[in-house]
Amino acid sequence: MRRFMLFATICLLFTGLFAAPASAQCAGTPGATNPLLLLDGTSWGFRLEGAVVAGNITVAAIGRFRATVAPNPRTPSIIQGTLLTTETVNFGGTVQPILAQVAGTFQVDSDCNGGVLMLGPGFPPGFRDLRFVLTAGGTMYLVNTDNDGVVVSGDARRTPAPALILQ
């Protein structure tokens, strides 16, 4: 009996060590085992509006981003979601067009219902990190997650890929 228990324990250990890891799969996306693929190759137009809490200053932004999935440049074995974004921000009446493409990243939750967009360091506070939720109609609802006293929310909709952000 002791040998059987030892044998069973060893078998369970080897099974746990060599079993293939479970992959998240998005409902309605057959064969997509990586949630990042939900946004891969898509282009979005977005709008945001809100205020700076401390000064009651209104803020707004419009822009576009293109999402792709690629290896991380620093760690090629890690696949990540990447963004190329352009944006124009109105911060209390001062317009700041950011027409150069800014590189950022994105993550999709394992249930594929939402995630996080990190637009990149070239944008003003309040417009860098956004939490999103996807709707069945193809709209992405956005709210900022920067902890800087700026509160913005808005939405994004899929658009044809613009020539400005194709590659």
Looking up residue 85, the CATH number of its domain turns out to be 2.40.128
Q: Note down the domain range covering 100.
A: 35-165
On the question of pLDDT at 8 being above 90, the answer is: no
On the question of pLDDT at 150 being above 90, the answer is: no
The answer to whether residue 144 sits within a structural domain is yes
Quote the CA–CA distance of 121 and 110 in Å, as a whole number.
26
Band (pLDDT 50/70/90 cuts) for residue 161 is low
Closest CA to 132 of 101, 159, 104, 153: 153
- pTM as predicted: 0.73
The answer to whether residue 20 sits within a structural domain is no
CB 126 within 8 A of CB 105: no
Eight-class DSSP state of 75: -
The answer to whether residue 23 sits within a structural domain is no
Amino acid identity for residue 28 in this structure? G
The answer to whether residue 78 sits within a structural domain is yes
Band (pLDDT 50/70/90 cuts) for residue 21 is very low
Amino acid identity for residue 9 in this structure? T
pLDDT value of residue 27: 56
Quote the CA–CA distance of 98 and 158 in Å, as a whole number.
20
The answer to whether residue 13 sits within a structural domain is no
pLDDT value of residue 10: 42
On the question of pLDDT at 126 being above 60, the answer is: yes
- The alpha helices in the chain, defined as continuous H runs, are 2-18
The answer to whether residue 24 sits within a structural domain is no
Q: Diameter of the chain by CA atoms?
A: 80
pLDDT value of residue 5: 42
What average pLDDT is seen over the chain?
A: 76
Closest CA to 39 of 77, 2, 7, 70: 70
Q: How many domains does the chain have?
A: 1
Q: What is the mean pLDDT of residues 119-131?
A: 76
The answer to whether residue 71 sits within a structural domain is yes
On the question of pLDDT at 24 being above 90, the answer is: no
C-beta neighbour count of 53 within 10 angstroms: 11
On the question of pLDDT at 62 being above 60, the answer is: yes
